[in-house]
Amino acid sequence: MERNERRMLMSKLTAARTHIQVEYPFYGSLLMHVRFAFADCGTAGTDMKRIIWDPAWLAKRTNEEVQFVLLHEVLHNALQHCLRSNGYDNLVYNIAADIVVNSNILKAMGEKEFLVDGQPVMHFTPGGEEGFQYSAEEIYHMLMDKYAGKDGRSDPLQLHETLIAVYGENIGQIDDHNFWAYIPGLEDGSGDAGELERAKWKNYVTKAAKDASYEYGTPHAIRELLEINLDYRSKTNWRRILEDFIKLCADGYDYTFSPSDRRFQNLDFLLPSFHVVDEETIEKLWFLVDTSGSIDDQTLTVIYQEIQAALEQFTHFSGMISSFDVDVTKPVEFDELTGIRDVKFTGGGGTSFRVIFDHMREHMAQELPGGIIILTDGFAEYPDKKAAMGVPVLWVIVGSEKEVPWGKSIHLEAG
């Protein structure tokens, strides 16, 4: 594959993933744990570490189709279908698993049907019910009862011919489940790596379910799988506030911001770099981290991880990062991964916001930042708004009720 073609396809995938992160936070969280790869596989597939795409097939898909396929693949991983198919007839189980994930996705989308490659996706059980109400194993047995007889003794070849006649082009329409056989621990029979993937994805799913708000919905199948009590109380979608701020930085005009969310559970915050909109180029966002001692090391670690994840996701993004207390460290460019890995946060004294804007006036006047994001507990003297020199400022106030006198703000409760 030529470099330009690969770049174009990766841009298409990252744009689809960004849309999902905004619209479906549960799925968006899970998608951060897989990479993209390309192979001549006809459609798409997953091995629980990657989502693999046929370049020619991907190039023909609409943005909406790409989003649906991403949801499809990551939900297979979340439900561990890749590890649960052993001992079953592969074709029958594949149909059952697809019915489950497609039905859950349609429910999340609020749609009754969806077309991929011109064909409606499978989402009904053999009895005509929505598949999200059942597990893949339950639907597997429904299929066997209907098409293989109660004793399941139908000739496999005849069974397959019957299913192909019933489901036709829907079989293999979205993905190739043969990749499941190449998960380490399944292909060699050891099972160890397969169990590792099982544990990893259970952790991913548990965190994503806790982080997602009820209004976006954790899939019905996931709730059944986890069997845990989660807090699904409605939360203000502060991720949209961050998205609006980036639009403000890119377009140069104001947006209406949603009410602030004062809950900040498990340090699960995303930095604005997760929400580049419509492939616009966002340049020179300047992140400043208060290291006066008011934000603990665990929070700083999360900040580092989120910035790094954003870098790995987007190609049309550049930024700088500094720490500050009573001084500001020299901004470090972090559009290069090797650069962000070397950033060391230092500090421990008092806190001054003035030093941020003094540094900008003295050292950045010829090329101002596109936007400033300040992570702090908010306890320091604020300079006048004019100190920002017209640059949009977002204050992320961590662990306090401190109100800021100007700029945009989000209040997050740490711990």
What's 351's domain CATH number? Answer: 3.40.50.410
Q: Is residue 386 part of a domain?
A: yes
Written as six digits, the tokens of 217 are 């919905």
Quick one: 213 and 360 in the same domain?
Answer: no
Quick one: 172 and 310 in the same domain?
Answer: no
What's residue 336's pLDDT? 45
Quick one: 339 and 217 in the same domain?
Answer: no
Q: Structure pTM? A: 0.56
Quick one: 389 and 271 in the same domain?
Answer: yes
Which DSSP category does 353 fall into? S
Which DSSP category does 124 fall into? B
Quick one: 274 and 167 in the same domain?
Answer: no
What's residue 248's pLDDT? 65
> Which domain does 271 fall in, by range?
238-412
- Tally the domains of the chain: 2
Q: Is residue 232 part of a domain?
A: no
Q: Is residue 374 part of a domain?
A: yes
- Stated length of the chain: 415
What's residue 333's pLDDT? 79
Q: Is residue 165 part of a domain?
A: yes
Quick one: 54 and 168 in the same domain?
Answer: yes
Quick one: 201 and 270 in the same domain?
Answer: no
Spacing of C-alpha 140 from chain mean position? 30
What's residue 242's pLDDT? 57
Quick one: 186 and 242 in the same domain?
Answer: no
Q: Is residue 256 part of a domain?
A: yes
Q: Is residue 288 part of a domain?
A: yes
What's residue 39's pLDDT? 94
Of 165, 194, 226, the domain-final residue: 226
Of 199, 226, 253, the domain-final residue: 226
In DSSP terms, which residues pair with 52 in a beta bridge? 37, 45
Quick one: 213 and 293 in the same domain?
Answer: no
Quick one: 208 and 248 in the same domain?
Answer: no
Quick one: 244 and 369 in the same domain?
Answer: yes
CB 413 within 8 A of CB 312: no
Strand 44-46 vs strand 50-53: parallel, antiparallel, or unpaired?
antiparallel
What's residue 218's pLDDT? 72
Of 181, 201, 226, the domain-final residue: 226
CB 288 within 8 A of CB 322: yes
Instruction: Give the C-alpha separation, 307 to 269, whole Å.
Output: 11
Which DSSP category does 249 fall into? H
Q: Is residue 233 part of a domain?
A: no
CB 216 within 8 A of CB 109: no
Q: Is residue 231 part of a domain?
A: no
Q: For residue 330, which of 363, 367, 297 has the smallest C-alpha distance? A: 363
Quick one: 211 and 260 in the same domain?
Answer: no
Half-sphere exposure of 389 (CA within 13 A, CB side): 17
Q: What is the pLDDT along the chain (415 residues), one digit of tens a residue?
A: 788 899 999 999 999 999 998 888 889 989 999 999 999 999 999 999 999 999 999 999 999 999 999 999 999 999 999 988 878 899 999 999 999 999 999 988 889 999 999 999 999 999 999 998 888 999 999 999 899 865 555 678 889 999 999 998 889 999 999 999 888 655 444 445 567 788 889 888 888 877 765 434 577 677 666 643 333 222 334 445 555 566 566 554 333 333 333 333 343 333 333 333 334 445 678 888 888 766 666 666 655 554 554 444 444 566 788 888 888 988 887 654 444 445 566 666 688 999 999 999 999 999 899 889 888 888 889 999 999 998 999 888 877 778 888 888 877 655 4
